[in-house]
Structure 1
Amino acid sequence: MNKLIITVLAKDRPGIIAKVTTDLFELGCNLENVNQMILQGQFAGFFIVEAPADQTPEAVEAVLKEKTNGNGLTIHVHQLDTPEAGSGDDAGDPGEIFLITTIGPDQKGLVARFSSIIAAHNGNIVNLKAVFKGGVDPNDNVMSYQVAVTKDMDAPAMFEALREKAKELNLDIRIQHKNIFDAINKI
């Protein structure tokens, strides 16, 4: 398999995804996964593709840059590291997802403080969204982590450390299993 991960950064505007995916299609790439977002007016896109066997990451990057020349896109292409079957890297407990949300006044280092606690307990952050609008309105500053918790972790100790840090920093914190969150918020 020749899987590549492609990152695209640019000032947001209509047509970025159309341009990049059309160029990838014309290169013979099969799009497998996409995640894109807009952060303060900046487009950030992540694409995982299966490229033809003869396409190197360098060749795909060169063609994409040539095709988008002058469009203000920053493009990087890398070989996707995938575990070899049976290597042990693909084994193990992927964990159950817990949603950890904090709400409160913005302070420098919030993400660093909470992610360090999660890392110290071997939690894996699989998704993070932090929106800091500044000011003193607590509802304007929200961090939402999705954390994979495995059976071999001391999850209660991690949750307690997170609650203690939130209390110290004057933040509200909510911790719940993703399944419960999904059931409560089902429309």
Structure 2
Amino acid sequence: MKAMILTLIGKDKPGLVESLAQKVYTLNGNWLASNLSYMAGHFAGFAQVEVPPENQQELINFLQQHPHLTIHSVSVEEMDKDDFEVAEIDIMGNDKTGIVQELTTTLNRFNLNIMKFESSCESAPNWGSLLFKAHAVIAIPAEFDLDVLSDALEDIANDLVVDIELR
């Protein structure tokens, strides 16, 4: 089986995911993982699928001709999971400009890779202002000192007046 990552975007309508899942299935493939969302009237996301090598081109042709989605695909090689550990970061505080920029700049300074990032703004109970929430999953090299990252995140939390938790 050959692993592929599909990125998807298009105007939302019923049946988009089913059309992709059906094609993967008919090509004797397997749907491994996905992160799919509705945002501002559009459907967006990505999926990891496996198909036999002899069916990969047929899947690519189907994706390029899909009538409702813009889809890009790439073949992937699995990462060696022994090279890193996973840490999670949660952020919450009054919404303000620069929270994501400060977090990503800090992670980049230590050459840490973001594996997953989700964020949202919602109305804060009892205040009426927006509350920013984010969750990040990052790859940490086995030899990395988490105390250094913890100190840097604490500095960001103090500067931006947000709560940041590292686990």
TM-score by length of 2: 0.80
Point out where structure 1 has 5 or more consecutive residues left out of the alignment. Answer: 84-88, 178-187
Whether the 8 Å CA contact 1:102–1:144 is kept in 2: the answer is yes
CA deviation after TM superposition for structure 1 residue 62, in Å: 2.2
Q: Larger % of strand: which? A: 2
Aligned residues: 165
Aligned position for 1:182:
none
Q: Secondary structure of 2:94's partner?
A: coil
CA deviation after TM superposition for structure 1 residue 138, in Å: 6.2
Q: Find the aligned partners of 2:81 and 2:138 in 1 and give their Cα distance.
A: 19
Whether the 8 Å CA contact 1:36–1:45 is kept in 2: the answer is yes
**Taking structure 1 as reference, are residues 139 and 133 closer, same or farther at Cα in structure 2, changes over 3 Å only?**
closer
Whether the 8 Å CA contact 1:11–1:41 is kept in 2: the answer is yes
Aligned position for 2:70:
74
Runs of 4+ in structure 1 over 6 Å off: none
Letter in structure 2 aligned against 1:131: S
Whether the 8 Å CA contact 1:125–1:148 is kept in 2: the answer is yes
Point out where structure 2 has 5 or more consecutive residues left out of the alignment. Answer: none
Alignment RMSD, CA only?
Answer: 2.7
CA deviation after TM superposition for structure 1 residue 122, in Å: 3.3
Letter in structure 1 aligned against 2:147: P
**Taking structure 1 as reference, are residues 3 and 148 closer, same or farther at Cα in structure 2, changes over 3 Å only?**
closer
**Taking structure 1 as reference, are residues 76 and 94 closer, same or farther at Cα in structure 2, changes over 3 Å only?**
same
Q: Find the aligned partners of 1:45 and 1:27 in 2 and give their Cα distance.
A: 21
Q: Which has the higher contact order (CA 8 A, sep 6+)?
A: 2
